[in-house]
Structure 1
Amino acid sequence: MNIKLREEYIKLGQALKAAGLVESGVEAKEVIQDGLVEVNGEVDTRRGRKLYGGDVVTFDGEEITIED
């Protein structure tokens, strides 16, 4: 799945919601803080992590590629 950036970056929590992998910001916060989300192959527990074109997010067997 791909997400096309409308601005310079998208935050990790927003990307999970935009991809439909979580229902809400609260759920995004929980799965990120629980260490269930990887950015570029490494666990990241910061919901506000800025994602730029080329970044790859993995959660629950799904992969999201961020595009410029």
Structure 2
Amino acid sequence: MKRSGSQTIQLDQFLKYVGAVATGGEAKRLIQDGLVEVNGEREVRRRRKLASGDVVTCADSNYEVSWPEGPEPADP
């Protein structure tokens, strides 16, 4: 069985998770100032939902959104 691919994370949370920013306030400022891109386009919505495969650019660094592969469920 494969994952549904419906996992998402908010842009501001993702920036904190990857260590691009230290705080949510810092993420908010960078996003509102237009210093963050998602898939090559400037993004100003801090709660933008990111999915696997999205590429976030912040401070000249690129981060690709991906989810770890979990174990496959056992057959009954």
Q: Shorter-chain-normalised TM-score: which range?
A: 0.7 to 0.9
Unaligned stretches of 5+ in structure 1? 1-6
SS at structure 2 position matched to 1:45:
coil
Partner of 2:15: 16
Report the alpha carbon displacement of residue 67 of structure 1 after superposing the two structures with TM: 1.1
User: Could you say what the CA RMSD is over the residues aligned between the two structures, in angstroms?
Assistant: 1.1
Q: TM-score, normalized by length of structure 2?
A: 0.78
Identical columns (%): 52
Larger Rg: 2
Which residue number in structure 2 is paired with residue 34 of structure 1?
Answer: 33
Q: Distance in 2 between matches of 1:29 and 1:51?
A: 16
1:21, 1:8 → 2: CA distance?
21
Q: Tell me, yes or no, if structure 1 residue 52 matches structure 2 residue 29.
A: no
Runs of 4+ residues over 6 Å off in structure 1: none
TM-score, structure 1 as length reference = 0.87
Aligned residue-pair number: 62
